[in-house]
């Protein structure tokens, strides 16, 4: 199979994969939020079963083609045609190649910001700054209890979904797809739970606080090696047989 080079061909921002991540470290805080606001943000035909959000901080010290960087964002548990998975709502990171590659290849909603994940004495601490403004802080007791590896592996193997929109030169949507992808070749090296907290603050261009924290449900800290698999189209919103009401509501059509 021939694979097109990333654009522009004279100066691509990232190499062709596969993209292998070693010692990828996660802090994931699951919290309960406003169900109405959550459903307004999740595209059909994905379904929201519970008003839950996962706020993630991810350290990636060794990633093929992308280098060393940190990422943070909100992931929403969903179901698609009876299969449980996750919808990537927003992502913030401090490295240009994975921003460009993530948006161009998969449709990841990546933006430039400054997330951190580090150990501070007896706590794991995640922070997210958009410019000079702090918009998220998470804390978790460091390795208080070993997590159930089976449950963690099952979660990592679930499908992930993205809304990929690429405009035509006149601004109208040329690609509008629901993309499905998986994490592959997972080597889970450790997983822990413990007490946790999460605070979010408003920002006009990074509205993570629009999904407010009503209750912290759980927290997980894990370290794994894995490969980010290339995606497939799970649903084409521009197919003639598909209704256009959601597309028109979320993408302004330029006449």
Residue 203: pLDDT band by 50, 70, 90 thresholds? very high
Q: Please compute the mean of the pLDDT values over residues 38-46 and round it to a whole number.
A: 96
**pLDDT at residue 1, rounded to an integer:** 44
Confidence at 72, pLDDT banded by 50, 70, 90: very high
Is the predicted pLDDT of residue 163 greater than 90, yes or no?
Answer: yes
Catalogue all structural domains in the chain, each as residue range(s) with its CATH number.
19-250 (2.40.400.10)
CA atoms lying within 13 Å on the CB side of residue 29: 28
The model scores a pTM over 0.85: yes
pLDDT at position 166 over 80: yes
**CA–CA gap between residue 127 and residue 137 (Å, rounded):** 4
Are the beta carbons of 91 and 62 closer than 8 angstroms? no
pLDDT for the residue numbered 10: 73
Tokens of 38: 């959550």
Higher pLDDT, 158 or 248: 158
Q: CA nearest 193: which of 222, 226, 220? A: 220
Q: What is the pLDDT of residue 229?
A: 92
Per-residue H/E/C for 27-54:
EEEEEECCHHHHHHHCCCCCECCCCEEE
Tell me the C-alpha distance between 201 and 138, whole Å.
12
On whether the CB atoms of residues 155 and 133 are closer than 8 A, the answer is: no
Q: Is the pLDDT of residue 145 over 70?
A: yes
10 or 138, which is more confident:
138
**Calpha distance 142→66 (Å, rounded):** 28
Q: Please tell me the predicted confidence (pLDDT) of residue 255.
A: 40
Radius of gyration, CA atoms only, the chain = 18
Positions annotated as catalytic residues are 110
Q: What pLDDT shows up at residue 3?
A: 52
Report pLDDT for 118: 98
Locus of tokens 């430039």: 112
Q: What is the pLDDT of residue 139?
A: 98
Cα 36 from Cα 40, distance rounded (Å): 6
Give tens-digit pLDDT for 93-136: 999 999 999 999 999 999 999 999 999 999 999 999 999 999 99
The pLDDT of residue 90 is: 97
- The least confident of 18-32, 150-164, 228-242 is 228-242
CA distances from 188 to 25, 178, 225 (A): 10, 28, 7
Look at residue 253 in the predicted model and tell me its pLDDT. 42
Percentage of residues in the chain having pLDDT higher than 70: 91
How far apart are the C-alpha atoms of 236 and 31, rounded to whole Å?
31
The pLDDT of residue 240: 83
């Amino acid at each position: 199979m021939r694979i097109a080079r990333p654009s522009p061909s004279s100066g691509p921002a990232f190499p062709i994969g596969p993209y292998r991540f070693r010692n990828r470290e996660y802090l994931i805080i699951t919290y309960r939020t406003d169900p109405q606001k959550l459903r307004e943000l999740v595209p059909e035909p994905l379904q929201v079963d519970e008003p839950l959000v996962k706020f993630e901080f991810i350290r990636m010290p060794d990633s093929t083609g992308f280098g060393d960087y940190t990422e943070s964002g909100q992931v929403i548990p969903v179901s698609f045609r009876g299969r449980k998975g996750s919808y990537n709502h927003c992502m913030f990171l401090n490295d240009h190649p994975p921003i460009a590659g993530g948006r161009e290849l998969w449709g990841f909603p990546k933006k430039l910001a400054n997330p951190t994940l580090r150990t501070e004495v007896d706590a794991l601490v995640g922070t997210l700054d958009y410019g000079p403004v702090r918009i998220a802080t998470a804390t978790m007791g460091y390795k208080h209890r070993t997590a159930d590896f089976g449950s963690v592996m099952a979660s990592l193997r679930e499908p992930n979904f993205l809304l990929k929109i690429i405009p035509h030169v006149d601004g109208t949507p040329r690609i509008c797809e629901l993309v499905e992808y998986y994490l592959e070749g997972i080597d889970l090296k450790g997983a822990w739970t413990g007490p946790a907290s999460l605070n979010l603050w408003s920002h006009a261009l990074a509205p993570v606080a629009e999904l407010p924290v009503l209750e912290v449900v759980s927290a997980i800290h894990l370290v794994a090696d894995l490969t980010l698999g290339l995606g497939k189209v799970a649903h084409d919103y521009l197919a003639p047989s598909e209704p256009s009401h959601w597309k028109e509501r979320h993408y302004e059509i330029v006449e």
